[in-house]
């Protein structure tokens, strides 16, 4: 798994090799003075590369590009799109939400189950949050072991499980947790 900075360097390197500037310029005008290539050599000293008429991005470049999230596909009404369990805290919380492919959310708090419709707009929003490419960069385990009485969030989505106490800086994960938390029973 590559980090955000490594992904940026990979994209910059690919763009540099293709003769494009990282700043979006370099549209083939031949004026590369003042820019540097990915390896630090001035761009006007590197060999000229002519891009093909319709270049297809490499897998690493397309995965790291800053493309907005797209909704995850729904394969059936029984599909579990995301599961989040919140545990811990001083009072011993144990709350669960399961987002299903039919647009319903199964929620429970200490064993009291409730199934309700999420609503079309909220469901689309959740699918888009789940499709955020930044979630692929989130570590599987992030906890501040010295902190006490923090909630622990265990999320399963996209074939992986993430455990966090939200002590790390993970904006995509925080948005997903906030949206799923709105589905939980309110005390």
pTM of the model: 0.62
pLDDT in tens, 11-57: 333 333 344 444 444 444 433 333 333 333 333 333 333 333 444 44
What is the reported pLDDT for 43? 38
pLDDT in tens, 95-117: 999 999 999 999 998 777 999 99
**Six token digits for residue 162:** 């993430």
pLDDT in tens, 156-176: 999 999 999 999 999 999 999
Where is pLDDT greater, at 186 or 78?
A: 78
- For residues 149-170, one letter each, b for 16 or more C-beta atoms within 10 angstroms of the residue's C-beta and e for the rest, the string is eeeebebebeeeebebebeeeb
């Amino acid at each position: 798994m590559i980090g955000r900075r490594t992904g940026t360097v990979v994209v910059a390197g690919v763009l540099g090799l293709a003769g494009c500037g990282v700043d979006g310029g370099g549209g083939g005008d031949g004026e590369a003075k003042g820019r540097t290539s990915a390896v630090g050599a001035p761009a006007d000293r590197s060999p000229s590369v002519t891009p093909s008429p319709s270049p297809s991005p490499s897998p690493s470049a397309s995965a790291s590009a800053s493309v907005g999230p797209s909704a995850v596909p729904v394969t059936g009404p029984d599909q579990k799109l995301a599961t989040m369990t919140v545990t811990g805290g001083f009072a011993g919380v144990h709350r669960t939400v399961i987002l299903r492919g039919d647009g319903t959310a199964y929620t429970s708090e200490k064993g009291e189950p409730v199934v309700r419709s999420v609503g079309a707009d909220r469901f689309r929003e959740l699918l888009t949050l789940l499709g955020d490419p930044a979630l692929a960069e989130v570590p599987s385990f992030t906890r501040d072991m010295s902190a006490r009485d923090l909630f622990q969030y265990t999320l399963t989505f996209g074939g992986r499980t993430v455990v966090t106490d939200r002590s790390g800086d993970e904006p995509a994960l925080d948005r997903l947790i906030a949206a799923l938390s709105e589905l939980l029973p309110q005390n």
